[in-house]
Structure 1
Amino acid sequence: MTIRLKPIAEQVIVITGASSGIGRATARLAARRGAAVVVAARGCDALDTLVAEIVADGGRASACATDMTDAAAAERLAAHAIDTYGGIDIWVNNAGVAIAGKLEDLSEADARRVFEINFWGMVHGCKAALPRLKDGGGVLVNIGSVTSDVSAPFMGLYSTTKQAIKAYTDALRIELMMDRAPVAVTLVKPAPIATPILEHQRNRMDRQATMPPPFYRPEDVAKTILSAAEHPERDLYVGGAVRLGSALARAFPNMADAASAILGPRLFKTGKPRDDRPDNLDAPSRPTGARGDTHGRWSRPSLYTALMVGPIRRFPSAGTIARRVLLGIRSR
C-alpha cells in the first residue's frame, strides 16, 4: 500500500464543524496555503460568512450546510465536494458539541444527542469519505481530545464520546491496512483550546463551566491537521501539556484520579453563576469566530506543536518507521 499525498496547495479538503473554533481556523489556514476548501456545519449564516472571508482573501471555498447526524446529508456533502472541485484528498471530522455536568445529572436525551453529533457524526463522515478517498488516496483526520486518553470530571459524557472516537479510529485504521487501502488515518488530540466551546456547550452545573489551563490556540490545531494532510501520523497531540499529562495519567492512573477528584471543582467551574445562554446541542451555533471566551485565562501558542509540525516533522516517528517496515514485509 502506497499513499501518495499532494501538497496542500493541490488538495481538496472537507472540514465538518467549520462554523467556528478549530474547523474555522483550519479552513482559513488551508485556504491561505492554496487548498480548495469545502466547509460544513448545521448553520448557513456562519458558513456563508466564512466562505466570504476566504474568497475575499483570494482563497477557494464552498459551503454545504450539513447535519452530520444524518448519514444521507454526509453523503450529499461528499458529492458536493466532488461536484465542486472534482475530488476529495483530505476529510476532517471535526463536528462536535459538549455538555458540562456530573454524569448522574444528565438526561438520557442530552446524552444521546451528544453521541449522535460527536460519535455518529464522525462515523457518517468516515463512511461518506472513504469510498472517495480510496479512489485516489488521501487522509482521514478525526478530531479526538486529551479526553480520548484521560477522562475529565464534569466532562464525562464528552470524554466518553472522544474515547469512542479513538476506538473507532484505531479499528478503522487496522481494517484499512488489512485491505491495503491508500488511506491514512490520523487522530488529533488537542489540549484545552481557546475556541467558543465554553460559550456554546450546554451547562448543567450551578456555575459557569471552564477547563483547566493552559489554553492553546485553535491555529495550533489547524497547523497540526494540515501537517497530517501532508505527513500523516497515527496520533498527533496539540499542546505539550496534553502530551505530558496523558503519559502521566496512563503511568499513574490512581494518582491521576485522586488529583482530578481534589482539583476538579476548581479547574472545571468558575465563580460566576450559570447564565443559561443559548447552546448548540439542538440548534446551530450562533455565528462566532475561531477563538472564544476562556474566562480570563490567557491562551498561548504551543511550542511543542510548533516543533512537531516544523523541524521534527522531517523525521518519521518510531511508530511510522515500524509501520513502514511491517507493510514492506507484508508486500513481499
Structure 2
Amino acid sequence: MADVSYPEDVEHIAEVALECFGGFDTWVNNAGIGLYGPLEELKLDDMRRLFDVNFWGVVYGSRVAVGHLKHKGGALINVGSVASEQAIPLQGLYSASKHAVKAYTDALRMELEHAHSPVSVTLIKPGPIDTPFPMHAHNELNREPKHVPPVYAPGTVAQAIVQAATRPEREVFVGAGPKAMATLGLLAPGSTERTMASTVIPQTFSSRPPLPQQESVLRRPSESLRERGDYPGHVREVSLYTEAVSRSSFRGMAAGLLGLGIAALLWNSLRH
C-alpha cells in the first residue's frame, strides 16, 4: 500500500514496477479524494489534506514517471475532472485541486514538447462516475451527498485511459455532459454559474443522513475495493461521445452534434 501524498511512497511504486516487470511504458495518476461542504465552513487542515492527495500526488507521480519515461518513451495520463474546467458548488476545494492538476499537466506537456521528450501527456476529464466517491468523501453536509446526473459507469473512464495509452490525446472528456458543461461555462459563464447554483446544489443532497465521519477517506483508505457506487438513477454504461471523438473519422460528426446540444442548452439557460 502507498500514500501518494508522500513522495517516497510514490518512488517506491516505481521501484516495485521496475523490480517486477523491468520497467513501464504507461503511468496513470488517478488517486483522489472528495470533500463536500460550503467553502466558508471547511476546516483548513482538511482542505490542505485534499490538496496533498489530489494535487501533490499528481505532481509526485508525474515527476517519477517522466524521470523514467523520457529515456525510452511512453505515456503519462493524469485523471482530472470536468471540475478542471467548471467549478462545482459544494465541491469547491475538489474543483480547485482539479484546476491545479490541469494547469500542472498542461505546463508539463509544453515543457516536455519543448525538450523533445518522447512522452505523451494526457488529461482525462470525467463527469460524475458511479463509484463510491460520494460515500467515501469527507462530508460536511447535513445529508449524504450524491452525484448530479448525467452519471457514467467506471468502465467509460477506464476505456478512455486505455485509449490514451495506445493512441495519445491531449485531453479526453468522458461523456458529452461534461464536455457540454465545460463549453457552456466558457461561452456563458454567468448563466452557467446561476444555473448550477440553482440546480446542482439542491441535487447534491440525498435523502439519507450523513455517514459517520470516520468512514471518509480524507486521512485513511476505505479498503473496500468497490468499483461501483450506489447511484439510484440511470447510469450510462457507455459514452457515445467519447467513443466518437476517439475515432478521427467521427470527430466532426461528434463535434457537430455536441454543438447543437450546447446551443439548445445555452438558449434554454438564457431564457430563464
* TM-score in terms of structure 1 length: 0.73
Q: Quick check: 1:241 aligned with 2:177? A: yes
Contact 1:140 1:184 in 2 (8 A): yes
Q: Distance in 2 between matches of 1:248 and 1:174?
A: 26
2:227 match: secondary structure: coil
Alignment partner, residue 71 of structure 1: 7
1:273 match: secondary structure: coil
* TM-score in terms of structure 2 length: 0.88
Q: Distance in 2 between matches of 1:248 and 1:315?
A: 22
Contact 1:208 1:274 in 2 (8 A): yes
Change (3 A) 1:275 1:289: closer
Deviations 1:184-239 (A, max 9, x none): 10000001000110111010011111121011011000000000001111110001
Q: Distance in 1 between matches of 2:240 and 2:59?
A: 32
Alignment partner, residue 155 of structure 2: 219
Q: Quick check: 1:129 aligned with 2:60? A: no
Q: Distance in 1 between matches of 2:120 and 2:165?
A: 9
Q: Quick check: 1:279 aligned with 2:216? A: yes
Q: Quick check: 1:175 aligned with 2:111? A: yes
Which protein is richer in strand relative to its size? Answer: 1
Map 1:232-271; keep pairs closer than 5 Å: 232-271=168-207
Shift of 1:276: 2.2
Q: Quick check: 1:206 aligned with 2:145? A: no
Change (3 A) 1:313 1:199: farther
Q: Quick check: 1:154 aligned with 2:90? A: yes
Contact 2:151 2:235 in 1 (8 A): yes
Letter in 1 for 2:175: G
Shift of 1:303: 1.6
Map 1:1-332; keep pairs closer than 5 Å: 65-276=1-212, 278-294=215-231, 296-301=232-237, 302-309=239-246, 312-313=247-248
Change (3 A) 1:314 1:182: farther
Percent identity between the two aligned chains: 40
Contact 2:245 2:251 in 1 (8 A): no
Contact 2:135 2:211 in 1 (8 A): no
Aligned length, in residue pairs: 250
- Compute the RMSD of aligned alpha carbons: 1.5
